[in-house]
Amino acid sequence: MPAVVFAGAGVVAAESAAGPRTILHPVSLELTEPRVAVIGANGSGKSTLLRLINGLLLPSSGAVSVDGADTAKQGSKVRRRVGFVFTDPLSQLVMPTGRDDVELSLRRSIRDARARSAAAEQRLASLGLLELADRSIYDLSGGERQLMALATVLAVEPAVLVADEPTTLLDLRNTARLRELLAALPQQLIYTTHDLDFASDADRVLVIDDGRIVCDAGPEEAIGRYRALALGTR
């Protein structure tokens, strides 16, 4: 598995009238497990932690690296290894159809248009999405859009898949479908979620509270700690 390393990485927001605000206190950890979930309340710092992994956000202090490549100094190399799935798939789907979006993802790696089209079709078929490939993205359900957004990211075969609350907009059936698909992927998966059943799929769970990692354990222990925090019983 790839190694995602946080070495004293922290994030402080730009100064405002109230002064600087720490969004994520310095974190030091190494993530090598196949499935890592991050849970916590809204605004606790979960998304900030994820955005540090592929350089969407750079640390104010410390460093983050993926297989030795520093996100600040070797950002393009990191982004070739790390794919990012956003909460809202419409933030990711920019072309008229899913097929167009997957082909766009492949444009850099496959120059020949015919070969690129064949590769896009194969990738869509492997995810069971070929029948949806030529529909307008606005005619797809929320779950179908999320699966199509995932296909665009997986098309370039990243080593690490980072997903920020990928089931938030989905109903139970599509949540189950997405969980099943993610469980079968060969990539390392690091994801945030409010769905504690989904969190329990992970090998390791991080609990974030007020910008600090307050628990780093297996699913049962970490989810129990989060429940205690949420209920105010600690």
CATH code (residue 213): 3.40.50.300
Q: Which amino acid is at 177?
A: R
pLDDT of 169: 85
* Sheet arrangement for strand 204-209: 82-85, 160-164, 188-192, 35-40, 204-209, 212-217
Range of the domain at 150: 4-230
Number of domains in the chain: 1
Question: Going by C-beta distance under 8 Å and a sequence separation of 6 or more, which residues neighbour residue 114?
Answer: none
pLDDT in tens, 33-70: 999 999 999 999 999 999 999 999 999 999 999 999 99
Q: What is the pTM of this model?
A: 0.92
pLDDT in tens, 1-22: 778 999 999 999 866 666 788 9
Residues 79-98 have a mean pLDDT of 93
pLDDT of 17: 67
| Residues 147, 130: Cα–Cα separation, whole Å | 11
Using a 10 angstrom Cβ sphere, with 0-12 exposed, 13-18 middle and 19 or more buried, the burial of residue 223 is buried
pLDDT in tens, 187-222: 999 999 999 999 999 999 999 999 999 999 999 999
